[in-house]
Amino acid sequence: MLKSLIKARIRRFGRHYDYDTGYLEATADADAGAVLRLMMTRGLSKRPAGFPPAPYYAAMLRAAAWEDCGPCTQLMAGFAVEGGVDAATIRTVLARDYAALPRETALAARFADAALGRTPDAAGLREDVRGLWGDAGVVALSLVLCGARIYPAFKNALGYGEACSTVTVGSLPPVAVQGFAR
């Protein structure tokens, strides 16, 4: 009974976002409790009240791009649209054209890239985030970086990962996702 309820919820989610949930359904078949534990991690990616949407979702999008899962990055773009971020901003973040972004959004995206890439400029960017949004802002962006990577990493580990190439946002042309050189 629990397994069928979980799978029904998974399918609703997939239909709503036009997202292939086959890996979650297969997980539910193998271990329904594992899906419940995985679902509990979704709270890591919940935008705190008062945190501006565009910078928050910029960090989320960069984290998904880091994991190189096209469908997951597309899903995060859908979350950003639902969160009130305009399609042009989403495309610009995915293309890593940070000079074309408002300062706060570019900062969050650059911080995400630096933190995930463990680059030397991460410390300075972290301080810039702290200066703009306080310690709570550093925590919020750090949590979204973790939360946005859980599902793509899980999906890839199961063998369901699909490499990033392009993402479509609204009626705009697809954008080539600029991930990280490894």
Is 167 part of a structural domain of the chain?
yes
Residue 46 token pair: 């919940």
DSSP 21: -
Unique residue bearing structure tokens 């940070």: 98
Q: Do residues 33 and 66 share a domain? A: no
Taking each helix axis from N to C end, the angle separating 122-158 and 32-40, rounded to the nearest 10 degrees, works out to 160
pLDDT, residue 165, reads 73
| Pair 64, 131 in one domain | yes
The type of residue at 122 is A
Report the C-alpha gap between 45 and 65 in whole angstroms: 15
User: Residue 10: pLDDT above 90?
Assistant: yes
H or E segment and range at residue 102 = none
Specify whether 87 is located in the same domain as 117: yes
Residue 181 counted as domain residue: no
Name 175's bridge partners: 167
pLDDT over threshold 50, residue 181: no
Q: Which positions ≥6 away from 125 have C-beta within 8 Å?
A: 107, 110, 111, 114, 115
User: Are both 52 and 122 inside the same structural domain?
Assistant: yes
Give yes or no for residue 158 having a pLDDT over 50: yes
Instruction: Kindly state whether residues 17 and 92 are assigned to the same domain.
Output: no
Q: How confident is the model at residue 169 (pLDDT cuts 50, 70, 90)?
A: confident
Q: Do both 106 and 93 map to the same domain?
A: yes
Alpha helix segments (H runs only) across 31-102 = 32-40, 53-67, 70-82, 87-94
pLDDT given at position 167: 75
pLDDT digits (tens, 9 = 90+) for 47-65: 988 899 999 999 999 999 8
Residues 35 and 50 in one domain: no
pLDDT tens per residue, range 67-119? 877 788 888 999 999 999 999 999 999 999 999 999 999 999 999 999 999 99
Q: What pLDDT does 62 receive?
A: 94
**In whole angstroms, what is the distance from residue 26 CA to residue 24 CA?**
5
pLDDT of residue 182: 41
